[in-house]
Amino acid sequence: MTAEPGAEFALIGAHFAGLGAAREDVLLGVGDDCALLRVPPGQSLAVSLDTLVAGVHFFPDCDPHALGHKTLAVSLSDLAAMGAEPAWATLALTLPASDPAWLAAFAAGLGELARAHGVRLVGGDTTRGPLTITLQLQGLVPPEAALRRDGACAGDRIWVSGTLGDAALALAELQAGRDPDAALRARLERPTPRVALGRGLRGIASAAIDLSDGLVADLGHVLAASGVGAELRLGALPLGEAVAARADWSLALAGGDDYELCFCAPPGRDGEILALGQRLGCRLTPIGTIRGDDDTLRCLLPDGTVLNPTRRGYDHFAGA
Ligand code: ADP
Ligand code: MG
């Protein structure tokens, strides 16, 4: 609650009521004690929540339109990795002050991506404090079709979408006081969630995860959940020009914020996967194989030597 409840409701009404796509399954949206949503029979609710903290997940002075986009994009990426169709969002906003220009730009960035993916904002909470943004996204997937982390099998090929390490390079450039070019910067600030890809992988992929903490850490979650190991061919990793020019494997292996999908599938599904990538205009690259002989992750350098990746994903409580 802010000091003036009237101002709080005016802020919600001006920027967040009616945000996103119109949906017939929203029986009641922003404005009551709860939203009422209709879940179709045979579908399960897929629910994901992410928090972005100023100074931890984004620069406090970053472009609010891009921040609105990224707030939803990171959750869309989670639903994509589950093979779910996004539907409804709720938003908890903690703001140091009510800045109408900032709020309008944030809501516009969030709203454009929400409409593009058929998502309706159906509720939230607004409080005063250090800038923190939490979005919960809900979607639909038949439970038997969901792309879980625990289905990878020995012999499966490992695939990734897009290119890896771009966001990590853009962040490194910004932290070094340099200005990454617009395309590289967009990979950090306006990630493209692979929603249609995740949906298309239903019935094809044996396991999937989205890459938010780096390939080694996130693929590691799939291996642990599935009780298998893997071999990655680093020479096969899809790299953009700027990342390739750095010759630094850690960008692609340990860099966060890619929001690409990493998934596994038996080699017999190669043709369908390549056709799906072509239909969606999304680069899909096989980068390795699931092994059943032990549960470690081996990385083969292009010259055939083995690299043992040590860098883990970002851990908020490391050393705490
Ligand atoms: P309550 O006191 O019942 O929790 P609130 O005063 O927090 O209600 O919110 C009033 C209405 O506005 C609710 O429907 C809530 O879901 C919605 N709401 C509050 N903040 C936001 C926000 N940031 N985005 C979208 N809806 C919001
Ligand atoms: Mg409330």
What pLDDT sits at residue 2? 43
C-alpha of residue 195 to centroid of ligand 2, in Å: 30
Of all protein residues, the one whose alpha carbon is nearest to atom 4 of ligand 1 is 33
The reported pLDDT for the residue numbered 242 is 96
Token pair, residue 21, equals 């796509």
Q: Retrieve residue 302's tokens.
A: 């292009």
What is the pLDDT at residue 311? Answer: 45
Residue closest by Cα to atom 11 of ligand 1? 31
The pLDDT, as a whole number, for residue 247 is 83
CA distances from 238 to 54, 59, 252, 283 (A): 31, 28, 9, 9
Which of 126, 127, 128, 134, when mutated, tests ligand 1's pocket best, judged by the most ligand atoms within 8 Å of its CB? 126
Give the pocket of ligand 1 (CB within 6 Å): 12, 16, 30-33, 91, 93, 121, 123-126
Residue type, 139: G
Give the pLDDT score at 5: 58
Please name which ligand lies nearest the alpha carbon of 110: 1
pTM: 0.94
Label residue 55 left, alpha or beta by phi (over 0 means left) and psi (-120 to 50 means alpha): left
What is the DSSP code string of 105-122?
HHHHHHHHHHHHTT-EEE
Question: Which ligand 1 atom lies nearest to the CA of residue 126?
Answer: 20
Q: What is the mean pLDDT of each run of 10 residues along the chain (320 residues)?
A: 65 90 97 96 97 93 96 98 98 94 96 98 96 98 97 98 97 95 96 98 98 96 97 96 92 94 98 98 98 94 83 54
Which residue in the block uniquely carries the two structure tokens 């990793």? 237
> Cα separation of 217 and 77, whole Å?
16
- Report which protein residue has its CA nearest ligand 1's atom 24: 124
DSSP per-residue string spanning 38-87: PPPTT-EEEEEEEEEEBTTTB-TTS-HHHHHHHHHHHHHHHHHHHTPEEE
Ligand nearest to the CA of 31: 1
d(CA 272, CA 276): 6
Q: Compute, in angstroms, the gap from residue 115 CA to the centroid of ligand 2.
A: 24
Which residue in 309, 306, 304 sits closest to 214, CA to CA? 309
